[in-house]
Structure 1
Amino acid sequence: MTSASRPVRTPVRTRFAPSPTGYLHIGGARTALFSWAFARRHGGTFILRIEDTDVARSTPAAVQAILDGMQWLGLEHDEGPFYQMQRMDRYKEVIGQMLAAGTAYHCYLSPEELDRLREAQRERGEKPRYDGRWRPEAGKVLPQPPAGVQPVVRFRNPAEGVVSWDDLVKGRIEIANAEMDDFIIARADGTPTYNFCVVVDDWDMGITHVIRGDDHVNNTPRQINVLQALGAEVPLYAHLSMILGDDGSKLSKRHGAVSVMQYDEEGYLPEAVINYLARLGWSHGDDEIFDRRQFVEWFDLDHITPSAAQFNTEKLNWLNAQYIKKADDAFLAAEVASRLARREVNPETGPSLEAVVALYKDRVANLNELADAAELFVADVHPAPEVVGQHLTDVAKAALASLRGRLAAAEWNRAALSQAIKDTMAEHGLKMPQVAIPLRVAVLGVPQTPAIDAVLEVLGRGRVLERLDRRL
């Protein structure tokens, strides 16, 4: 079914609901991107919700890391951020309503009793599960509540039938209710559980489309049953496949499962990361490079593949290089200046960074490489001894001494500088590499650079002569 024929429930309301137990990583960022893009595509609302009920593991620093990552990627939310810990009164209100309606009940089975029950079931070769001993049934006499035991609250899951949904990525999914037990929706201390909080949030916030990772597929039937018990409209679900590393194994820190902000630190442009994430499990024909406006215009759920996506660092690097090539020189110069400042290198002490950027932007894969190149123009250069020994030979130094005299008198433009180099080559009977490579080492400390006449022009007469004098 195409997006043209598949109905979209409107007005569209999507959400990104991370748990602040760590940074925002690539998998979470892709989920956020797809949820954001779907809302933008249909003129809907994108909601940010922080699911912070895991008090032991949730931290303010992790919340800030998520907010920073979203901001860097440019995935602005329309509502929120909402925090589950600030909605406890609402959850308890709904639990009270469910207890009164008979769709939930108190269970006095202690954790130790539950462990013994499950162990006995395993020994009999049965699936370990709660046996419903405190579930109210017609004609069933319940035990007397034990003294001093605080009960949990369990959801009264339907005993018969199936729960099913048409997943917008995976297709039709059906699970027999008999496969699920009555799960806990509130712990003995009164705090609600994840699967319950999510349901109330999605209901209260009017979420129409839940776009999330397929590690949540097993939660979906439970959440649907609770929604139906509350008389709430069930949202449409789209479960995204996992992302594998370059080697086909589960994504880990060594191949991409790092904080989104680390991509900023490593010199990636957010637009390149967005473009790359968009192609992780979604496609629009053979199109590889497109901006977020075009992505929003094209995006649908029909072209998300149900199979796992594979992270490819080389592809991300290539894409980042394309974005750097197309970027405005002034923008790149500002990015490079901030990176140099972090290295305690003053960008004001060198030539125009825009001119340096223009020389190198076609030769680098990330902003850090661009900053590395710019640093050679700004800071004192100290070529490695082996590089000096290899390239600044007596013959090379004699040629550079002659060239220095010509450069001191030459007009400072590429044509004149090129002619000075050619005249020096002719005088000493040398070929271009025999002069150009030692010259590069003398003025920038490295044997490879863009066209040497362009490098000299940008570096400026004063710096070139000073650096030649130092090497000679």
Structure 2
Amino acid sequence: MTTTRFAPSPTGYIHVGNLRTALMNYMIARKAGGSFILRIDDTDPERSKQEYVDAIQHDLEWLGLTWDRMERQSERLDRYAEAADKLRAIGRFYEAFETPTELDLKRKKQLNMGKPPVYDRAALSLSADEQAALRAERGNGVWRFKLDHERIEWSDGILGDISIDAASVSDPVLIRGDGQVLYTIASVVDDTEMGVTHVVRGSDHVTNTATQIQIIKALGGTCPEFAHHSLLTGPQGEALSKRLGTLALRDLREAGVQPMALLSLLARLGSSDPIELRTDMAELIDGFDLGRFGSAPTKLDSQDLYPLTARYLQTLPHTAVKADLDAAGVPEDKQQDFWAVAKENITTLKDLEGWWALCRDGAEPLIAEEDADFIAEAMALLPEGPYDSETWGKWTAEVKEKTGRKGKGLFMPLRKAVTGMERGPDMSALLALMQVVRARG
């Protein structure tokens, strides 16, 4: 069975970059009728917080990305310890004691010599007594996986055939000196034991994948199919990390972005398929093809989410937004007619309140000096409310007859006087909803 996973760290709120990874894995699983696992990478006890776990679940639920099971790595530490013991037993795990300063000096020396800045495996030559002395002086060392110096190759679902020389990569640290298990081994153990068949993640993980392939094989596991999607940048190609503060899913939700707008954009961004609004997840899944994504950095402009949100709102009946209409203060008997007018003129549901305020309280008239006398004469002809869908047509016809104005010279000044705006909804429908027209005086 096809099984994928999304493994966020609960050290902060998830953002659009995280969502892209989650969405691809979700769609692969759902398209194949498989299983999607939400796996919380919480092996760092100091930085992991339950509030972020709750927020991750809330964000995914808001988007409709349902998971079939949830796992927490903090509850699987015994499994990682067993894997570490197995690696020690086969001679693929060793303890190293260098300080960060010593490692930095080694890297600089290697770079000056024109060599790749990889760990020199000096710890392998330490005697038991030397290890004991260093442990007494510095505390426990880190545990590194001993790579086989050979080429590591796989067929990537997006990047194509990949080949990495393991000799150009440092033996990865899998367990820190304080005992914290790192992602590199925890992920391998979980993927193997949970039967994960496909792993899609960012291209910044390519080197991790190379080392993890060797770890999987050393532990006797089966490698999943790997794919590495491009990294997102800002609209000008700038590093997205500088702007992630505004691209957390919770912030986009608060700004009024609709889930299907966000999903429609991220499900196709970076692929050869056009970005088009889809109104349900099934449509996105049906058209998803990992092979249509490219490797080049992918530009994301969060402003693109707002036209998609506006178009999505236009597809909804008033019953779908009743809670928002209630919150804006729209009376029950006016909601259907009001929504028919408002949905064509809003970007997000946050805009509803302003449109209802216009209908309820009227607007500050916008009157050009040369139109002042005309507006005064026209307003004297406007009957008292309530208004209906016929009022605008009858009124403008009478104003035209009395003043001789016609066309744009007639309609534009009247619209500006009634609504305070130069453009907007059909005036027959809008005036029928208005309870106050301030320019009447």
Structure 1 residue 236 corresponds to structure 2 residue 225? yes
What is the distance in 2 between the residues matched to 1:119 and 1:310?
34
Letter in 1 for 2:35: T
Counterpart of 2:374 (choices 395, 406, 412) is: 395
Structure 1 residue 424 corresponds to structure 2 residue 424? no
More displaced, 353-362 or 245-254?
245-254
What is the distance in 2 between the residues matched to 1:84 and 1:126?
37
What is the distance in 1 between the residues matched to 2:99 and 2:166?
24
Once the two structures are TM-superposed, the CA of residue 210 in structure 1 deviates from its matched residue by 0.5
Per-residue deviation, residues 389-412 of structure 1 (Å, max 9, x unmatched): 65872431232122226x67xxx5
What is the distance in 1 between the residues matched to 2:338 and 2:371?
25
Task: After TM superposition, list the pairs within 5 Å mapping 1:242-391 onto structure 2.
Answer: 242-252=231-241, 258-284=247-273, 288-290=276-278, 291-313=280-302, 315-338=304-327, 340=328, 346-348=329-331, 352-378=334-360, 380-381=361-362, 383=364, 387=366, 390=369
- Change beyond 3 A, Cα 1:393–1:61: farther
What is the distance in 1 between the residues matched to 2:215 and 2:272?
35
Counterpart of 1:154 (choices 135, 143, 149) is: 143
Once the two structures are TM-superposed, the CA of residue 238 in structure 1 deviates from its matched residue by 0.6
- Change beyond 3 A, Cα 1:252–1:370: farther
Q: Secondary structure at the match of 1:163?
A: strand
- Change beyond 3 A, Cα 1:176–1:366: same
Once the two structures are TM-superposed, the CA of residue 46 in structure 1 deviates from its matched residue by 0.6
Structure 1 residue 67 corresponds to structure 2 residue 57? yes
| Aligned 8 A contact 2:380 2:440 in 1 | no
Structure 1 residue 181 corresponds to structure 2 residue 170? yes
Q: Secondary structure at the match of 1:182?
A: coil
Counterpart of 2:153 (choices 157, 164, 179) is: 164
Tell me which residue corresponds to 1:217: 206
State the TM-score, normalized to the length of structure 1. Answer: 0.83
Once the two structures are TM-superposed, the CA of residue 43 in structure 1 deviates from its matched residue by 0.5
| Aligned 8 A contact 2:201 2:228 in 1 | yes
What is the distance in 2 between the residues matched to 1:25 and 1:181?
30
- Change beyond 3 A, Cα 1:225–1:234: same
Structure 1 residue 414 corresponds to structure 2 residue 389? yes
| Aligned 8 A contact 1:325 1:361 in 2 | yes
| Aligned 8 A contact 2:388 2:433 in 1 | no
State the TM-score, normalized to the length of structure 2. Answer: 0.88
- Change beyond 3 A, Cα 1:332–1:375: farther
| Aligned 8 A contact 2:157 2:291 in 1 | yes
Counterpart of 2:130 (choices 133, 144, 155) is: 144
Task: After TM superposition, list the pairs within 5 Å mapping 1:41-60 onto structure 2.
Answer: 41-60=31-50
Once the two structures are TM-superposed, the CA of residue 274 in structure 1 deviates from its matched residue by 0.9
- Change beyond 3 A, Cα 1:61–1:438: farther
Once the two structures are TM-superposed, the CA of residue 33 in structure 1 deviates from its matched residue by 0.9
- Change beyond 3 A, Cα 1:111–1:311: closer
Q: Gaps spanning 5+ residues in structure 1: where?
A: 1-10, 341-345
- The alignment's C-alpha RMSD in Å is 2.9
Tell me which residue corresponds to 2:196: 207
Per-residue deviation, residues 373-423 of structure 1 (Å, max 9, x unmatched): 233224x34527xx3565872431232122226x67xxx542354123312
Structure 1 residue 198 corresponds to structure 2 residue 187? yes
Q: Secondary structure at the match of 1:28?
A: helix
